[in-house]
Amino acid sequence: MRLDKFICKSTELSRNEAKSLLKQGEVRVNGEVIKNPATQVHENNEITVDGQSLMARTSRYIMMNKPLDTICSNVDENHPSLLHLVEVDKAFDLHIAGRLDVDTTGLVLITDDGRWSHNIISPKKLCKKTYRVWLRNSLDEAIIEQFKLGVQLQGESSLTQPAQLIVAEGCDDKKEVLLTITEGKYHQVKRMFAAVFNRVVGLHREQIGDIVLPDDLALGQWRHLTEEEVNSVS
């Protein structure tokens, strides 16, 4: 973790205030004065400000059922950040592990633990994400096999990783499906169906890894992850 971030996480100081302390030479790491805010520190380092030892707050792990017309960003743009909905101290010090488009709803994971979120978003980890997808046209059964092999996306030089595609239970018109992928390419779900001449008209993420969005968590609501859910990401 960056030293300035550690200071913010263990005090009520802003990032600018932490940098000012560093510049003044008031921060020591293992007894050595450190002025570079980007210096990487770890939990076992002894970090002091004006002789007082700092201890970072416990990392936070949150799930949200993202509503429409919010963005997975720490900065408001044409739409507001979903972090406005998270009623915790210093919510904007958190980050979103695995983003969703503004017109997509469902499970997002929010944390201030960068190593934990890396295990979700790193392509090497092949973390599974399951989406409920509503399509313009009925699903051609042959597409299920095509998705298993990988799909050629426009502008990509290689096929997508194998994906699991099934028709949603009770859907007779085959316009509602469940798709599980292990990648996070830009607009990937929409582009996969566009590649097979179909169109996504609704998209909702239901699962990341072993973490499932509960039925009783309404759009816009959030809760802290359980210890079991946190530990499931590795």
What pLDDT does residue 110 have?
98
Amino acid identity, residue 26?
A: E
What pLDDT does residue 42 have?
83
**pLDDT tens by residue, 202-211:** 999 999 999 9
Asked if 97 and 62 count as a contact pair (C-beta separation under 8 A), the reply is no
Can you list the domains of the chain with their CATH numbers?
Answer: 3-53 (3.10.290.10), 61-123+211-231 (3.30.70.580), 128-208 (3.30.70.1560)
**pLDDT tens by residue, 139-172:** 998 999 999 999 999 999 999 999 999 999 999 9
Segments of the chain scoring below 70 in pLDDT: none
Separation between Cα atoms, residue 205 and residue 216, nearest integer Å = 15
What pLDDT does residue 11 have?
85
Q: Which residues are catalytic?
A: 101
Separation between Cα atoms, residue 12 and residue 15, nearest integer Å = 10
What pLDDT does residue 133 have?
98
Residues 6+ positions from 134 with CB-CB distance below 8 Å: 175, 176, 200, 201, 202, 203
Asked if 116 and 127 count as a contact pair (C-beta separation under 8 A), the reply is no
What pLDDT does residue 50 have?
84
What pLDDT does residue 10 have?
84
